[in-house]
Amino acid sequence: MSRVLALLLVFALGALAMAAWTRYAAEADAHRIAITQALHGALDAAGETGRWLDEEVLVREALARGYALDDQIVRRQLQRRMRSALLAEAPPEPVNDAALAGWLAAHADRYQAQPRWSFEQVYLSRASHGMALDAAAAAVGARLAARPDDTAALGDPFPQGLRYTQVSSAQVEAAFGGPLLQRLAACTPNIWCGPVITSLGAHWLRLLAAEPARTLTLDEARSHLRADLEQDRQQQTLRAGLDRLRAGWRLVDDPAGLGIQPLPAAAEHEHGEDTP
């Protein structure tokens, strides 16, 4: 054997030995379980080292066998921890008043104060008037037309009162129903209108003041604005982090690897190797 061949053989054997050692070292390192001296000492003192080691080995073997991939509870916990890690690695920009004002201007339709109404009513109870409710309501209407401010002796008591100040549309609808709210919105201010017939009885209404819907001020909406803007920035941060992570992965069709049924032929092109 020539000297050159001998050197080549030595080199080849050395390379094989190095590869074998690298593989052995990787496998050996993969089966190392690191523990701090303090924890090790505490476990030994409590006689819990064996139990702790059993649990660690079970977790690591389960991960090595891919059991986390088909366990929905484990998957959700891993996803939650990764989302937290992405937010910690690139925290969203802090929210200040300028950012809140900009968000409010861009999404004013989300932060609206409802219309508010001030009005009074003359109420006729359905229980008290029965079949004569319509006639009684017409008679009250005639008296209101003749003497609009003489209401003391007219109508019946109402559980929630007869006069309302700056109540929201939602409050009016909750107390009286949608038809009365619609009629109230169409009333001419300071003129009795009606009667509005509801399940409760008959209502004559006099609109005193109406405040239209408006955009909330920064101070009024601050807490909601902050929550919404912080959530939006977190979602943007997560999206950027996920896009960065996804750039290192490729989706391939391998039903056996996921334990699912093969895709229909028509759907194969939708989930091919080039899917991001």
Number of domains in the chain: 4
15 pLDDT band (50/70/90 cuts)? very low
Same domain, 140 and 192: yes
How does pLDDT run across 114-162, given as a tens digit for each residue? 899 999 999 999 988 889 999 999 999 999 998 998 888 888 898 888 9
Of residues 258 and 198, more confidence is placed in: 198
How does pLDDT run across 56-75, given as a tens digit for each residue? 888 888 888 888 888 888 88
- Residue 163's CATH number: 3.10.50.40
Amino acid 84: pLDDT = 92
Amino acid 13: pLDDT = 37
Same domain, 16 and 46: no
pLDDT of residue 16 exceeding 80, the answer is: no
User: Burial letters for 44-61: b for 16+ Cβ neighbours within 10 Å, e otherwise?
Assistant: eeeeebeebeeeeeeeee
Same domain, 236 and 272: yes
Same domain, 159 and 97: no
Same domain, 109 and 222: yes
3-state secondary structure 209-259: EEECCEECCHHHHHHHHHHHHHHHHHHHHHHHHHHHHHCCCCECCCHHHHC
pLDDT, mean over the chain: 81
Residue labelled with tokens 């104060």: 113
pLDDT of residue 36 exceeding 50, the answer is: yes
Amino acid 3: pLDDT = 57
Same domain, 4 and 24: yes
Q: Which of 186, 212, 238 is the endpoint of a domain? A: 212
pLDDT > 90 in the chain, percent: 43
Domain residues for the domain of 241 are: 66-113+217-276
Same domain, 126 and 145: yes
The pLDDT of 247-260, averaged and rounded, is 66
**Do the beta carbons of residue 190 and residue 207 sit within 8 Å?**
yes
Distances (CA, A) of 238 to 51, 156, 248, 257: 38, 60, 16, 27
The count of C-alpha atoms lying within 13 angstroms of the C-alpha of 193, restricted to the half-sphere facing its C-beta, is 16
Same domain, 92 and 226: yes
Token reading at 39: 């924890």
Distance CA 197, CA 125 (A): 10
The pTM for the full model equals: 0.56
Rounded to 5 degrees, φ, ψ at 149 are -100, 0
Lowest average pLDDT, out of 30-34, 121-125, 217-221, goes to 30-34
Lowest average pLDDT, out of 33-37, 182-186, 246-250, goes to 246-250
Same domain, 121 and 208: yes
Amino acid 7: pLDDT = 42
The pLDDT of 206-226, averaged and rounded, is 93
**Do the beta carbons of residue 169 and residue 115 sit within 8 Å?**
yes
Same domain, 71 and 203: no
Q: Which of 196, 212, 228 is the endpoint of a domain? A: 212
Of residues 209 and 274, more confidence is placed in: 209
| Closest to 119 in 3D by CA, of 182, 177, 172 | 172
Same domain, 88 and 221: yes
Same domain, 205 and 261: no
